[in-house]
Structure 1
Amino acid sequence: MPAKPGRAGLAAARVSRAAALDAWLAPLLDGPSAGVALVAVGSHARRELTPGGDLDLVLLHRGRPDIAGVADRVWYPVWDSGLRLDHSVRTPDEARSVARADLKAALGLISARHVAGDHDLANELRAAVLADWRADAPVRLPELSALCRRRWKAHGELAFLLEPDLKEARGGLRDVHAMRAAAASWAASASGPGVSDAYELLLDVRHALHEVTGRSADRLVFQEQDAVARALGMPDADALLRATAEAARTIAYAADHLWRHVSRRPAPPDGAARGVVRRPVGDGAVEHGGEVVLARGADLRDPALILRVAASAAQAGLPLAPATVARLAEQAALPPDPWPPPVRDALVSLLGAGPPAIPVWEALDQAGLIVRLLPEWERVRNRPQRDPVHRFTVDRHLVETAAGAAARTREVARPDLLLVGALLHDIGKGQGGDHSVTGAALARGVAARMGFPEDDAAVLETVVRRHLLLPETATRRDIDDPVTVQSVVDAVSAVPGRERDVLDILAALAIADGHATGPAAWGTWKAGLVADLARRAAAALSGGTPPAPGRGHLALARHDGAAVRVAGARVTIAAPDRPGLLWGAAGILALHRLAVRTARVVSGDAGTAVLDFTAVPEYGTPPDPATLEADLRRMLADRLDVAARLARRERAVRLRPGVAVPPPRVRVVDEASATATVVEVRAHDRPGLLWRIGRALGACGLDVRAARVDTLGAEAVDVFYVVDAAGRPLTDPAELSSVRARVLEALR
């Protein structure tokens, strides 16, 4: 990991700061030094104290009666200086007892460093603590492993967070401290230079963050990232996040290997040497000590060896031994261009292993093998996704999607094209322009290099180009409209004779992609819409009649009026259709502090409309269902002034400065329907958003025939099928421009 220009001098600055602090602290311990010592622990002991870091000191003594006065002479000047101080006064026996009882105290004392006073006393303490640590390693290391896992669960994985905690998250600074403690127990080897370089980078980022903010917080929040990047000589926040992700993944990979090694360490109960078992798991691969290693006599000239050994490990649910990965990276042959069929088969086998393929892929990536096999991977590797809906960097998202697609291979005629398409579907991100278009061209080239026949390569190109077709169409268009289904049929017909292959792969990929993206991007409602749209398109492709739209909710409507049902987060209304019905209901939900996550409007038979909402509390507990239902009925009976009540609520809300968000976008989608005008609105979600949009459409004299409303993280994507008072779509450009302007004004 090469040093950046802005990083030059940061390590030296930390060492200089430590030396200056030592020189300032030493005279505070005045008087006879025998039997008393000032010892640093934590970041100052490691000479890594940042501008906002805490000073952690221990005053050691051999039972001196005047130790309280000595302590005051040290602590008070430190406090007066403004430094934040964590301090304690101990005898060696007391410090040793604390370390044996408190894991965190032991971790600090393992790296204790003499600052002033009696050297022998400081050395005696450190030697005693290390001896205890090594003797107690069979107990303390499992405790440390459990502590790390609790921390990971609480703080997440640094590499994949948009605002990571540099110290506590998985792959952060704390993990290196834990690995060093494990190495100090002699139960594991010290980490290599890659981890050291990654650690130094995270230290530099933390150092720059403290200098930029003037605070000791370790969370790299969005608004500070550009300034921190500049301080480190990096071009922008994305470059900073890519660098921190790479460092964090290096640390996390090493930590996984270390804790795996430690967990296998206990000796047999009888003390006898345990025999080493080598069990074949594939051609050229054997299991050894819980890891997959190269078999004796494995042919390193075989171009399929790398991926075949990786596939064997994934299919067996075992990790690849780091030494084996290193040997493959140094000595194994790479496949020629185009790949021979066994190489492609090995890749498909690796991806087809499902979730166990993820750590194996990570091992190959850490050794630089992935970018050598797939040079296009370099541009998506560690690339952040500036969208809270996404849980992962682009490259990890692709691998997660492929792993998820493995569960759906029996739903398609060509599992290999599904798995490779899943791996490549976002390969165009970071290239500029529409990533689907750019990615399709890249996928065509990758497919040719992998040795796929021409028509298979065309299928992969189409899959990557259209991977968002089904979820976007299902959630943003009226699937009861024949134009919608025909648009899908036209899109999947790019490869004559392979239309059904493309459609089936897209349907399976949509599910895997949604799950890999995150919970905000996929749910039962969206899954149902995508499946329904895929069924209709399949029927159209086969020349059959598309399935009739579901009318289950129409049973709610009573002959004598409207019906309302509130069941958990789902609110369903069946009522005589009329202008304003949608936004009136949305206004009631907003009054009850419910955020609309999805909304569907379907015009039924005999002038009935069905509104189906998924709504969750903005905060706190949900409203009383009976009260919500009563207010909805009052709105339907025109006995509730929704606008006035919302206005009162808005006046009562204290406005706070918000985070800068992109401006809203309103567009009229041409040729999306033959019977209505389709208006698409994208905006940052906020309470009452659907109410505002609906009111603006109503003010234009428009009636909503159908609607698709979705909230993905903080982004609302709303689509409305509207007609004028005569029930016809709008055609006048001036009217369309007025509608767009009216909606935009309502969103400001």
Structure 2
Amino acid sequence: MPVLDLAALPQLSRAERLTALDDWLSGLLADALSATPRSARRRGAPPTGPVEAGIALVAVGSLGRREPPPHGDLDLVLVHDGRPEIAALADALWYPVWDAKLRLDHSVRTIAEAVAVAGDDVKAGLGLLDARHVAGDPEVTAALRAATLGSWRQHASRLLPQLRDLRRARGRQVGELGFLLEPDLKEAYGGLREGQVLRALAAAQLADEPPADAGEAYTFLLDARDALQRATGRASDVLVRQEQRGVAEALGLADDDALLRRVSLAGRRLAFVADETWRRVDAALVRRPRGRYRRVRREPLAEGLVRQGDEVVLARDARPAADPGLVLRGAAAAARADLLLSPYTLKVLAVHAPPLPEPWPPEVRWSFLRLLASGRSAVPVLEQLDQEGLLARMLPEWDRVRSMPQRHPWHRFTVDRHLVESAAAAAELTRDVDRPDLLLVGALLHDIGKGWPGDHTEVGVVLVRDIAARMGFSPPDVETLVEMVRHHLLLPDVATRRDLEDPLTVDRVVEAIGRDAALLQLLHALAQADGAATSASAWSPWKAHLVAALVARVAARLGSAPVPDPVLEPTEPQVTAPAPVIPGPTEPVTVGVEDVLDGQQITIGAADRPGLFSVCAGVLALNQLDVRAARVSVEHGHGTLVFAVRPRFGRPPVPEILADGVRAALEGTLPLADRLRQREHDYSQDRPAGRPPRISWFDAEATGATGLVEVRAADRAGLLYRLTAALADAGLDVGSATVETLGADAVDAFYVADPGGAPIAPQQRERAERALVAAARGDAPDPAALGAVEA
């Protein structure tokens, strides 16, 4: 029996691994033929020399494509001419493979059986297109390949739509390779499977062979998968976060971000070529009515451009080399008509289009704005320009953000696609602003600084000043775009982390943007577009409500709008349950629940006492309610706490349960700390990360004796409870709080004050900081470390 060195196999190159496997399998077939009893052989068909006629071992799948991964399956078909001893021969062949601990996907078929299966099963047909002779009678393999290819072409009109739907469904399930932080290199849309599909479409004679750059992208993904499987020692196609650095080093790349960017570029190229190819295939599969051929109607769209079928092509009198505005004019015409530029037109423009003059002529800038204003239909057109290098030719800064990964889990897209999606979302808001042109350009460029080292906002301000001037905007418009980039995070940050009822919060925004109502209008629309292009988690209805409330208050300060209602007041509240009154030891505890935008508003009333805020926050956390904002008011010894919450698992809060929990916690019969610690143990997603918490005081935003402290820490069960308990232990009262969760991190801001009304002393601030750090880490507060707190 031939010997295969399994330990050395994964370390070989693909070509060496292929040779070793082929030689080993050839030997196994020869041994199997020798071991099969001659009496079981069909009479009249003895072995003819070294090869027995009528039997062939054929590789399909990755082995058939000459791409065996280090720890992949062996996909083998034993093809025969109908002999009765084939079962014994197959057993003699497969058992040594199993004994070698290799995973085997095997079948035994005649040529007619294989072709019948391929004609009914699109996956089987796709695999047989990669059939490659390994051992045995080569004429059998050649006959199988010819029959399979003929059947594939014959049934293309039925099989290819199934294959298209299969890949699109898989892409929806797994995601697009170009935008995943932990991509499936094989099954994600744009992955290795796309390269195999492209070859299958070419085999059906309905598409050309994939272009060379698509082949290069495919080869890189193969190299990445090989490096991944060597690193993990198993058959894995998912490039998980912890393996990315090692894979990057194996491929000679600078770091894991460089790896993810190369994977994204490769995946987007394969996806783009696949999309273009499927459009051609779909058009070819449409059955034309019988009769004389009719010429496709050509409809003029713009100067030098016509619509031909479902594409935009160059007119006969177009002069690409002498018309600098033709690229953007064509892109705008295509997007406005919800079409795409034809691949040939793109190639011609990429080769012949001259550089744009600087500054851009008004008609060129107008075409660019028309393209962006097309909204969703502009996204695929911009992707066409990007894939052909035309977008970076117009905006050289674009190359630095192409396929740049964003590690934050909120982000669905790479930086460049996020910018395009932001512009598409901004197109829906152009009627809400006085300068829609500035909104569209600002949305497209607000994160352009992420391609350079340093703070992306500061870098973006410098870049946008140059880009806007190059586009031909007037100096005042350039400054407005610069201010949009400078402050594009201002409204969301302030709205979600500061008390909107505090006048200093509004002062901060006015100080930043001046008394420019038009800029406020643009920043509000930009915040909406940016959030919508990030993810639903990043721009929830509640966050949108907070930003709108902040904008209303700033507008009122500027004199362009009436003073709005308090933020925590619900819009058209619907009381879901009465506020129960549960008798306590001294005073009743009342709990009311109302439906508000994107969640519920919970109002808790009880006798004021130190730590009341913390107790209520702990009870809410114990009931799986995420707090997003809170406010406390005390009058005549009675505390009223209003919380904006959202159920973590979709179950609405029950007033009776909450009231009972608050009462039990106040009486000391509910061990909140122990229960929350157990909950954190039960839910692994709530476990904190290793980064230390950060405590910041904002004296400039404090009011009188009230201080503002912000805590950035790993999110965990009961974090708000622990933080407010720590502040109470440090002798500080919490007046209001805003809470925001950014992926695995939480940003909690508290307005605190000394109960006696005195300014917060430095020693008290130090005690509070130590207590907050301990609470954020999950450590129990140490009264000795905090110091004695006078009653």
TM-score of the aligned structures, taking structure 1 as reference length: 0.93
- Give the deviation of 1:256 after TM superposition: 0.8
Where does residue 233 of structure 2 map in the other structure? 214
CA distance in 2, matches of 1:146, 1:422: 34
2:319 pairs with 1:299: yes
From 283, 302, 307, the equivalent of 1:282 is: 302
Where does residue 564 of structure 1 map in the other structure? 592
2:773 pairs with 1:744: yes
Q: Secondary structure at the match of 1:111?
A: coil
Q: 1:551 to 1:382 in 2, by over 3 A?
A: closer
Where does residue 367 of structure 1 map in the other structure? 388
Where does residue 75 of structure 1 map in the other structure? 94
2:378 pairs with 1:357: yes
Q: Secondary structure at the match of 1:679?
A: strand
Alignment of 1:104-253 (within 5 A): 104-253=123-272
CA distance in 2, matches of 1:528, 1:655: 31
Q: 1:604 to 1:419 in 2, by over 3 A?
A: farther
- Give the deviation of 1:437 after TM superposition: 1.5
Residues 414-452 of structure 1: per-residue CA shift (max 9 Å, x gap): 101000000111111142332111111111111111111
CA contact (8 A) 2:698 2:709 kept: yes
Q: 1:611 to 1:659 in 2, by over 3 A?
A: closer
Where does residue 273 of structure 1 map in the other structure? 293
2:445 pairs with 1:424: yes
- Give the deviation of 1:628 after TM superposition: 3.5
Q: 1:11 to 1:425 in 2, by over 3 A?
A: farther
2:629 pairs with 1:584: no
CA contact (8 A) 1:564 1:632 kept: no
2:430 pairs with 1:409: yes
Which residue identity lines up with residue 14 of structure 1 in the other structure? R
Where does residue 3 of structure 1 map in the other structure? none
2:351 pairs with 1:330: yes
Residues 493-552 of structure 1: per-residue CA shift (max 9 Å, x gap): 2xx7xx122110000011111110101101111111111111111121127763342563
- Give the deviation of 1:246 after TM superposition: 0.5
CA contact (8 A) 1:448 1:454 kept: yes
2:701 pairs with 1:681: no
Q: Secondary structure at the match of 1:428?
A: helix
CA contact (8 A) 1:351 1:406 kept: yes
Q: 1:484 to 1:135 in 2, by over 3 A?
A: same
Which residue identity lines up with residue 295 of structure 1 in the other structure? A
Which residue identity lines up with residue 358 of structure 2 in the other structure? D
Q: Secondary structure at the match of 2:207?
A: coil
Where does residue 256 of structure 1 map in the other structure? 275
- Give the deviation of 1:662 after TM superposition: 3.0
Q: 1:260 to 1:610 in 2, by over 3 A?
A: farther
Where does residue 339 of structure 1 map in the other structure? 360
CA distance in 2, matches of 1:659, 1:743: 15
2:120 pairs with 1:89: no
Q: 1:392 to 1:90 in 2, by over 3 A?
A: same
- Give the deviation of 1:317 after TM superposition: 0.7
CA contact (8 A) 1:484 1:673 kept: no
Which residue identity lines up with residue 629 of structure 1 in the other structure? L
Alignment of 1:300-699 (within 5 A): 300=320, 301-493=322-514, 499-542=516-559, 546-550=563-567, 552=569, 562-565=590-593, 570=600, 572-576=602-606, 578-592=609-623, 594=624, 596=626, 598-601=628-631, 603=633, 608-617=639-648, 622=651, 625=654, 628-635=657-664, 638=667, 640-643=669-672, 645-646=674-675, 649=678, 653=682, 661-675=690-704, 676-699=706-729
- Give the deviation of 1:280 after TM superposition: 1.8
Using the TM superposition, name which of 150-159 and 328-337 deviates more. 328-337
- Give the deviation of 1:570 after TM superposition: 2.7
Residues 538-571 of structure 1: per-residue CA shift (max 9 Å, x gap): 1211277633425636998899762322759535
Q: Secondary structure at the match of 1:297?
A: coil
Where does residue 29 of structure 1 map in the other structure? 29
Where does residue 41 of structure 2 map in the other structure? none
CA distance in 1, matches of 2:381, 2:772: 50
CA distance in 1, matches of 2:327, 2:609: 65
CA distance in 2, matches of 1:145, 1:187: 13
Q: 1:642 to 1:511 in 2, by over 3 A?
A: farther
CA distance in 1, matches of 2:293, 2:609: 82
CA distance in 1, matches of 2:712, 2:733: 20
CA distance in 2, matches of 1:392, 1:237: 17
CA distance in 2, matches of 1:367, 1:502: 35
* Matched-pair identity in %: 49
Where does residue 4 of structure 1 map in the other structure? none
CA contact (8 A) 1:163 1:222 kept: yes
Using the TM superposition, name which of 550-559 and 153-162 deviates more. 550-559
Aligned length: 731
Which residue identity lines up with residue 312 of structure 2 in the other structure? V
Q: 1:549 to 1:657 in 2, by over 3 A?
A: closer
CA contact (8 A) 2:688 2:716 kept: no
Higher relative contact order (CA 8 A, sep 6+): 1
Q: 1:595 to 1:235 in 2, by over 3 A?
A: farther
CA distance in 2, matches of 1:220, 1:542: 54
CA distance in 2, matches of 1:657, 1:589: 15
CA distance in 2, matches of 1:636, 1:541: 46
Q: 1:329 to 1:670 in 2, by over 3 A?
A: farther
2:45 pairs with 1:45: no
CA contact (8 A) 1:565 1:573 kept: yes
Which residue identity lines up with residue 123 of structure 2 in the other structure? K
Q: Secondary structure at the match of 1:389?
A: coil
Where does residue 17 of structure 2 map in the other structure? 17
CA contact (8 A) 1:564 1:629 kept: no
Question: For the aligned residues, what is the CA RMSD?
Answer: 2.5
Considering only CA atoms, is the larger Rg found in Structure 1 or Structure 2?
2
2:63 pairs with 1:55: no
Q: 1:604 to 1:312 in 2, by over 3 A?
A: farther
Residues 591-634 of structure 1: per-residue CA shift (max 9 Å, x gap): 23x1526233254877653422333346xx74883664353453
2:84 pairs with 1:65: yes
Q: 1:279 to 1:728 in 2, by over 3 A?
A: farther
Q: 1:105 to 1:627 in 2, by over 3 A?
A: farther
Which residue identity lines up with residue 724 of structure 1 in the other structure? D
Q: 1:626 to 1:130 in 2, by over 3 A?
A: farther
